[in-house]
Chains A and B, each alone.
Chain A
Amino acid sequence: MTTPDTLTPNLLGALLRSDRFRLEREADWQRLEAIVLAAEKGRLRRISDEDLLALPQLYRTVASSLSIARAISLDAATLGYLEALVQRAWFVVYGPRSSLVAWLRGFLGGGWSRAVRGLGVDLAIAFAVMVAGVLVGWLLVAHDPEWYGALVPGGFGDARVPGASAATLKGTLFGHGGQDGMGAFAAFLFSNNAGVSILSFALGFAFGIPTLMLLVQNTAILGAMLWLYHGAGLTIDFAAWISVHGTTELFAILLAGGAGLHIGRAMAFPGERSVLAAAAEAGRRAAQVMAGVVLMLIAAALLEGFARQLVDNTPGRLAIGGFMLAFWLAYFFAFARGPGEVREWR
Chain B
Amino acid sequence: MAVTGRARATRAIPTRLARTGRDRTLVTPEGVALPLTVAGLGARAGALMLDIAVLFTGFLVLIIALFSLAGGVAGMIGRLGTGREAPLALQFVVVLMIVLTFLARYAYFLWFELGARGATPGKRMTGIRIAARDGGRLTAEMVIARNLMRDIELFIPVVLIARAGVDSGPAWLAATAWFALFLLMPCFNRDHLRAGDVIAGTWVVEAPRRTLEAPMAPAAQPAGAEYLFSDAELAIYGEYELQTLERILREGREAVLEQVQATIAGKIGRDVDPWRARPFLEAYYGQLRARLEAGMRLGKRKADKHASG
Contacts and interface: CB of A to CB of B under 8 A. Distances in A.
Interface of A: 1-2, 13-19, 22-23, 26, 29-30, 33, 39-42, 44, 60, 63-64, 66-67, 70-81, 83-88, 90-92, 94-98, 100, 103, 180-181, 183-184, 187-188, 190-191, 194-195, 198-199, 201-203, 205, 263, 276-277, 279-288, 290-291
B149 A205 contact: yes
Interface string B268-301: 0000000000000000001001101100110000
A198 B91 contact: no
Interface stretch (B50-58, B169-177, B240-248): B240-248
Contact of B217 (A19, A181, A286): A19
B144 A83 contact: no
B289 A287 contact: no
A75 B215 contact: yes
Given A23-B215, A87-B208, A203 B243 contact: no
B17 A76 contact: yes
Given A17-B220, A184-B98, A74 B117 contact: no
B94 interface: yes
Contacts of B200: 280, 283-284, 287
B293 A92 contact: no
A232 B195 CA distance: 48
A46 B200 CA distance: 32
19 contacts: A13-B220, A39-B116, A63-B30, A74-B239, A74-B242, A75-B215, A75-B246, A76-B246, A80-B210, A84-B209, A96-B115, A96-B116, A184-B94, A202-B148, A202-B151, A283-B198, A284-B142, A286-B199, A290-B145
B137 interface: yes
Contacts of A86: 28, 32, 34
Interface residues of B, number: 80
Contact of A81 (B140, B143, B145, B212): B212
Given A73-B293, A92-B116, A184-B91, A19 B148 contact: no
B148 A201 contact: yes
A291 B134 CA distance: 23
* Most A Cβ at <10 Å: residue of B16, B129, B220: B220
B114 interface: yes
Given A66-B32, A74-B293, A94 B137 contact: yes
B152 A202 contact: yes
Interface string B78-105: 0000000001100110110011011000
B138 interface: yes
A76 to B, nearest CB: 4
A216 B199 CA distance: 24
Contacts of A88: 207, 209
* Most A Cβ at <10 Å: residue of B94, B149, B239, B296: B149
A96 B217 contact: no
A16 B215 CA distance: 11
A17 B186 CA distance: 45
A64 B136 CA distance: 19
A285 B99 CA distance: 26
Contact of A90 (B34, B88, B213, B239): B34
B131 interface: yes
Nearest to A86: B34
A interface secondary structure, majority? helix
B293 A96 contact: no
Contacts of A70: 14-15
Interface string B27-60: 0101110111000000000000000000000000
Contacts of B286: 16
B216 interface: yes
A188 B91 CA distance: 11
Given A86-B34, A203-B152, 9 more contacts: A30-B212, A42-B116, A74-B242, A83-B35, A88-B207, A202-B151, A287-B141, A287-B142, A291-B141
Interface string B202-223: 0000011111111111111100
10 closest A-B pairs by beta carbon, nearest first, are A280-B201, A287-B145, A283-B199, A187-B98, A287-B144, A79-B15, A202-B152, A184-B94, A76-B243, A284-B141
B226 to A, nearest CB: 15
A77 B148 CA distance: 40
A198 B296 CA distance: 56
Given A95-B138, A198-B151, A202-B149, A76 B247 contact: yes
A283 to B, nearest CB: 3
A198 B301 CA distance: 55
B149 A183 contact: no
B122 interface: no
A191 B140 CA distance: 22
A51 to B, nearest CB: 15
A67 B32 contact: yes
Contact of A187 (B99, B143, B246): B99
Contact of B34 (A15, A40, A44, A87): A87
A90 B31 CA distance: 12
Interface string B94-132: 110011011000100000001111100000000001010
* Most A Cβ at <10 Å: residue of B14, B141, B142, B208: B141
A75 B210 CA distance: 14
Nearest to B114: A96
Contact of B198 (A67, A75, A276, A291): A276
